[in-house]
Chains A and B, each alone.
Chain A
Amino acid sequence: MMRPALPSPLPIFDRGLLRAVEKIVPPAEREEWSRTWRAELWHMHHRGRRTQPPGMIADLSIGLTQDALWLRKESWRRALDGTPTLCLATLLGLSLLSLLMALALTGGWSSLSLYLDAQLKRAMLEAPLVVFVMFATASRRPMEERSSSMKLCWIRRQMFFAAEVAMVLLLTFLLSADICHPIHRPWPATADLLQIFFFVVLSLVGLRWAFRDQEERCKQCLCSLAMPARVGRPSHNLLEWNGMELACKQGHGRLSVPEMETSWCQSSRWTNQQPEWRESTSI
């Protein structure tokens, strides 16, 4: 796109500022952003009817930078929202935060490793038990997959789930250690018991979330499903299908989750979208 020429050029400071800040803007939106701000700055300099309030240029400089930052942040949000990378990165970030908190509480790396060492040995015994209980009791709906070409996706999905479970266990272990540290010195036995209790409770809650999160992700790209829509009526449950439908934002497919398990509809059903329909159904 050709930039329309301005009737009179902008001051050197403004041009330099625009050139420097436009690098923050995502390339696809850069041209329009630049055009918008060239026009805004030009109009600010040529307002005949009013004098420019002092600090107006400085204020607009902040405004155009904030605008560029917003566009960059928004492009990251659009690219990462609901992705497995963001999910794992968030869990990792929270774990690092918990580790830093533990470091601050214990006062140094050596005392932290001493404190966590004993807790970790116990957690290595508790964690498999918690995972076993969670798998045994989770109301995980069986998934009906119609396509045989989904093997690779299935492997990716299991790897992501394993990573998610591991991150949840790590986070809950660190959190439980943080919570019980203040009472560890005066009452070590009580602190140990409480640490076991908190670790078990938090990891059960966390793993339950992980199961639910897995169910509500696209079976191909592993992004969170969106646009939940209720289908059917509960009062017609014996006559027709009734439940929730969720769709992949990139148009890979649709998940139908029955409200109640019936003899003709016992499991959640993932339906792949035909490639030729993807373009029209993606958001």
Chain B
Amino acid sequence: MDTPRLSHSAALILKALSLGYCFGLDVMEVTGLPSGTVYPALRRLERDELVESKWEPEEEAAAKQRPARRYYEVTRTGKAAALAATERYPLLAHLVAEKR
């Protein structure tokens, strides 16, 4: 299957997700993109099956006294697309640091 061509911001978001930043707020912080770009882009990536969203288990969140959050995971197609995007935009690899 052909990997879809991503815009620069979508590629940056996908790169951040593949490096372990799985929440919308974290992606905003690490990429510096505004929320009006990040959240609709996450929806588009999910529609195109490049990422999938899940909910944290309620019990786990309740134990930490916080609400459960929606988090995003890169799919296999998404990983291929992230790789292709890094080749297309070589600077991407330096823009986002791996999550510790």
Interface residues of A (CB under 8 A from B): 4, 6-7, 35-36, 38-40, 42-44, 46-47, 59-60, 62-67, 70-71, 74
Contacts and interface: CB of A to CB of B under 8 A. Distances in A.
22 contacts: A4-B68, A6-B67, A35-B70, A39-B68, A40-B23, A40-B24, A42-B67, A43-B23, A44-B25, A46-B66, A47-B25, A59-B36, A62-B35, A62-B36, A63-B28, A64-B35, A64-B39, A65-B36, A66-B35, A66-B36, A67-B43, A70-B44
B87 interface: no
Contacts of A74: 43, 47
A64 B26 CA distance: 16
B88 interface: no
Contacts of A67: 39-40, 43
Nearest to B47: A74
A237 B79 CA distance: 40
Nearest to B66: A7
B58 interface: yes
Contacts of A62: 34-36
B25 A40 contact: yes
A39 B69 CA distance: 6
A24 B69 CA distance: 22
Contacts of A6: 67
Interface in B40-70: 40, 43-44, 47, 58, 65-70
Contacts of B28: 59, 63
A34 B25 CA distance: 16
Given A4-B58, A39-B68, A60 B43 contact: no
B14 interface: no
Q: Which 8 A-B pairs have the closest CB atoms?
A: A63-B35, A66-B36, A70-B40, A67-B39, A39-B67, A62-B36, A39-B69, A36-B70
A5 to B, nearest CB: 8
Given A38-B67, A39-B67, A59-B34, 16 more contacts: A4-B67, A7-B65, A35-B70, A39-B68, A39-B70, A40-B24, A43-B23, A43-B67, A44-B25, A59-B28, A63-B28, A63-B36, A64-B39, A66-B40, A70-B44, A74-B47
